[in-house]
């Protein structure tokens, strides 16, 4: 048996093409110590926080990981369900839907989290143990950033380096302008408008530090492109929609406008009815359910807004499963053709 650093070569011929879906991660429980472990794993990644470790690690191991888990635990407790963390539950449901949709193509699908369980180590072992020789890595981040998709690439390649025999790898870095993705987003907005009537559409994206963009990160440009394509598909004019960025952390400047500040500006312009879409999130999580659906909504309504509608993420909806399955087949096309031949 071939091996390298204790990792055997795959031997089963049962599945040759595999898909590794990767999302960010979530604490295992909405309590202090699981959240502390999760935050350490996440915030110690130098792809995520590009700061000098001699400066950053004392802050992280000191005040941040001492006090922040208490606050974060309360937020997670407000959204935690009997099934667990929404991000994990919805990601698992999406994975299950894709596995069923791709079963006839003999494509195996596994879910991994960058900073929690199921780990990339476990998911890669399952895929290679099932005989996967061609691997598609699909981070569940529509727009590319080095702090998200780039971090996934690092971790997957680091894990594969432990195997003597590695699969051919195709890394799907983003899908920000995929027509199927844009159509699915547009359908979700249309359903919302059908219930509430058309309102101003705010596309709120997860933010990143401004310095990442100045160094060449394409995230802001891709977020703008997603918004442009979506609003063209919906037939919205320039004044009917806007874009903002949420979830900033720390004292550094992040992409602007910040979502809560922008909502206040919309009120100053007389816009008192708003529909918020979060196109950077494949599935709903703390940042969509609590940060936008609770905090931002309360701030907007208390400041004079009349209606605030949050459009759910695509989650495991048929539209998401269908477009993503087609996306995967397209990326696996030449492998499937060669296998069938």
Which domains are present in the chain? 3-175+319-340 (3.40.50.1400), 179-310 (3.40.50.1400)
Cα separation of the two ends of the chain: 29
- The confidence score (pLDDT) of residue 5 equals 54
Report pLDDT for 250: 83
**Number of other CB atoms surrounding residue 201 within 10 Å:** 23
Give the SS3 label for residue 177: coil
What pLDDT does 148 receive?
98
Averaged pLDDT for residues 109-133: 97
**pLDDT confidence of 81, banded at 50, 70, 90?**
very high
227-280 pLDDT per residue, tens: 999 999 999 999 999 999 999 988 899 999 999 999 999 999 999 999 999 999
The predicted model gives 102-109 an average pLDDT of 95
Q: Check whether 9 has a pLDDT greater than 80.
A: no
Sequence-separated (6 or more) residues with CB below 8 Å from residue 171: 137, 153, 156
Which of 208-217, 248-257, 280-289 has the weakest average pLDDT?
Answer: 248-257
Nearest to 95 by CA among 331, 321, 340: 321
Note the pLDDT of residue 4: 45
Rounded-to-integer distance, Cα 123 and Cα 113, Å:
9
Q: What percent of the chain has pLDDT over 70?
A: 94
pLDDT, residue 147, reads: 98
If you average pLDDT over every residue of the chain, what do you get? Answer: 94
The per-residue pLDDT for 149 is: 98
pTM value is 0.93
Report the share of the chain in percent with pLDDT over 90: 92
Residue 341 has a pLDDT of 47
pLDDT digits (tens, 9 = 90+) for 151-204: 999 999 999 999 999 999 999 999 999 999 999 999 999 999 999 999 999 999
Is pLDDT at 8 greater than 70 in this prediction?
Answer: no
15 pLDDT more than 70: no
Whether the pLDDT of residue 334 is over 90: the answer is: no
pLDDT digits (tens, 9 = 90+) for 295-326: 999 999 999 999 999 999 999 999 999 999 99
- Measured CA to CA, the distance from residue 226 to residue 279 in angstroms comes to 8
């Amino acid at each position: 048996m071939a091996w390298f650093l204790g990792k055997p070569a795959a031997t089963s011929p049962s599945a040759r093409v595999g898909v590794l879906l990767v999302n960010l991660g979530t604490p295992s429980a909405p309590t202090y110590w699981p959240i502390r472990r999760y935050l350490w794993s996440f915030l110690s990644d130098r792809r995520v926080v590009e700061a000098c470790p001699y400066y950053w690690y004392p802050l992280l191991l000191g005040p941040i990981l001492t006090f922040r888990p208490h606050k974060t635990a309360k937020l997670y407790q407000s959204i935690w369900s009997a099934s667990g963390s929404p991000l994990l539950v919805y990601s698992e449901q999406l994975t299950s839907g894709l596995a069923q949709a791709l079963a006839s193509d003999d494509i195996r699908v596994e879910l991994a989290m960058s900073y929690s369980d199921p780990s990339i180590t476990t998911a890669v072992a399952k895929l290679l143990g099932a005989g996967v020789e061609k691997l598609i890595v699909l981070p569940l981040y529509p727009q590319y950033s080095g702090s998200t998709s780039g971090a996934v690439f690092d971790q997957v390649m680091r894990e594969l380096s432990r195997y003597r025999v590695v699969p051919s790898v195709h890394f799907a870095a983003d899908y920000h302008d995929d027509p199927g993705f844009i159509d699915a987003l547009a359908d979700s907005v249309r359903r919302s408008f059908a219930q509430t009537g058309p309102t101003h559409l705010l596309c709120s994206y997860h933010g990143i530090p401004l310095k990442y963009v100045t160094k060449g990160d394409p995230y802001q440009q891709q977020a703008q492109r997603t918004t442009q394509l979506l609003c063209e598909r919906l037939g919205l004019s320039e004044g009917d929609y806007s874009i903002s960025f949420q979830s900033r952390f720390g004292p550094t400047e992040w992409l602007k406008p910040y979502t809560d500040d922008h909502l206040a500006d919309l009120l100053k312009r007389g816009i008192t009815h708003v529909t918020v879409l979060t196109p950077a999130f494949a599935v709903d999580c703390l940042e969509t359910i609590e940060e936008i659906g609770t905090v931002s909504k309360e701030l907007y309504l208390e400041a004079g807004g009349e209606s605030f509608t949050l459009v759910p993420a695509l989650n495991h909806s048929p539209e998401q499963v269908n477009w993503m399955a087609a996306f995967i087949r397209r990326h696996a096309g030449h492998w499937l053709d060669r296998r069938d031949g």
